[in-house]
Structure 1
Amino acid sequence: MPERQDDAGWGDFAAAFQAVVDNVGLVIRGKTDAVSQALTCLLSGGHLLLEDVPGLGKTSLARALAASVEASCHRVQFTPDLLPSDITGVTVYHQGSDAFTFHEGPVFAHVVVADEVNRASPKTQSALLEVMEENRVTVDAVSHWVPRPFFVVATQNPVDMDGTYPLPEAQLDRFLMRVRVGYPDRAAELAILRDRRSGLRVEDLQPVLTTDDVLALVALAAQVHVADNVSGYVVDLVTATRSLPGLRLGASPRGSIALLRAAQVQAAAAGRAFVIPEDVQRLAAPVLAHRLLVTPDAELRGYTGEQAVAEALAAVPVPRTLTGV
């Protein structure tokens, strides 16, 4: 994997990025944008929330991404009776050795699929807060580090479906991006049926990168240059969300950091060594919309976080001249 910032290095980054997207696309048909955004989230060092109705391949997308980068993957089915210790692990006393031993939970993997995360209680959902922010779990006052890279992919059904609990605002803010998969078009759905007949499955995918490659790409993406006026553009967009009349809470500085990191990956995936405003615009909604809290009156009118981001993008002037490149 590339370790330098010359043109060849960024070309290698773009080639590696496309190789993973193409590999996942062998089993996730017609969803190139969703796959690209999921990979962008992974290479930004963040976590992903996949939200949509059941049956659209949210879990399969997460598993296919893990298989493509040769990563360990644990899946947790969230249910109302799931306990925090079922996720993080538990310390058990062994009488024979007269000692306490920590037994790791499913969170100890490179990719953790939290399936239907909003079907568990808020207490259990909050068990992910520490590990998503600090890459460690604290049990009985002892910290245990999870593997790197560490990537939580939570799938969520729409909050108006039966048996769901809305995610706490603090946890929503931990997800770098929220992506909606959407229904496939006719050609993609026909390809899904052909794949089903031919037996092509996620388990059949061969990895195209290793976890070491992923860490190298994450480090390289962090070196993508961001001009001062582009950084200012990010800050102005996030600041604009804090004064929109339809919102009771705008994006935090964590949203600014997330948007900038994702834009750096977007630029590197395009083979560029610098971020342009279009990178920021393309990722503004997936990165910021789920961090915004809509007022009750606006929510009754059908106003959404995505609409708020669109208003901010329309209101903030776009920098035309890149300085410091």
Structure 2
Amino acid sequence: MIEAKNITKKFKQQAAVDNISFNIKEGENFVLLGTSGCGKTTTLKMLNRLIEPTTGSIYINQKNIKEQNAETLRRSIGYVLQNTGLFPHYTVAENIAVVPNLFKWDKEKIQLRVEALMHKLHLAKEYYNAYPNELSGGQQQRVGLARALAADAAILLMDEPFGALDPITRTKVRTDFINLEEFKKKTIVLVTHDVQEAFELADRICLMDKGKIIQTGTPAELLFKPADNFVKTFFDEQRLQLEYKSVTLQMLWPFLEDNNATSPSLKEVPSQSNVWRVLEYLNTDNKDGIRAKDNGAVKQINYASLLHAFNQYKKYN
């Protein structure tokens, strides 16, 4: 859906982004991650022409964005900023409705869309006519997310969308966003410096340093098959937790014990669940284990069998 070919961006002869190429599939969550000043935000802003590349080309649905009207292009792409970028003199409803109004939707359609998004993002009805300065930081960020989703664009660009929030609020807003049906249908490009956030949200991660792409791959590929020492050491501080979050039961399936005596009374979890989530289940109310199903096969899993399978997976990957 998005293709960048040999794009470079120079500021005063200094390359902020240095001859990078990548492809993003339709419906994929693609995360730009890296050191401060590595070029990830510049890369994101080139996708909707907020910044023009010095050289190289970007295609969306096989159409060169340089050949499209920049304003029209931006209206067709959702965009979420870290500081929300809300208009202070607009109400919550007016902020959310900005792009639908530009598209000249009828008033009733706009009102229904605004109310639906406010409900989905847990913004109470009484905030409909409130102004941004009357909201908390978390509520403002929810309005910013609603505005980016309002016109139902197929692509959503997100620049450190949760970075300005405190850790508890950030986790809650992010979780609510992930659970939105709209989130699951869109092609999303996310910039973050938060490694845990990247691993929670990404289908693939593009790890950058000094304007270059060092490695692109799934979270598990970056952990278990690092391209070089930079990639390996980048994740060392949080490695075990990241490994638990990047490996799913489905990936462990060949290493899990075969057992036919599974109890139907045990909690059943999807085989797409990661090890971290399963450990949370086992450490709460599921001391006897849980059951998982994959392609019709059912296995009973307890703490010991899960960690044994995880260690076997690591041994062979």
TM class, shorter-length: 0.3 to 0.5
Higher normalized helix content (fraction of residues): 1
TM-score scaled by structure 2? 0.36
- Higher RCO (C-alpha under 8 Å, 6+ residues apart): 1
**Is the radius of gyration larger for structure 1 or structure 2?**
2
Q: TM-score, normalised by structure 1?
A: 0.35
Task: Indicate the structure with greater strand content.
Answer: 2
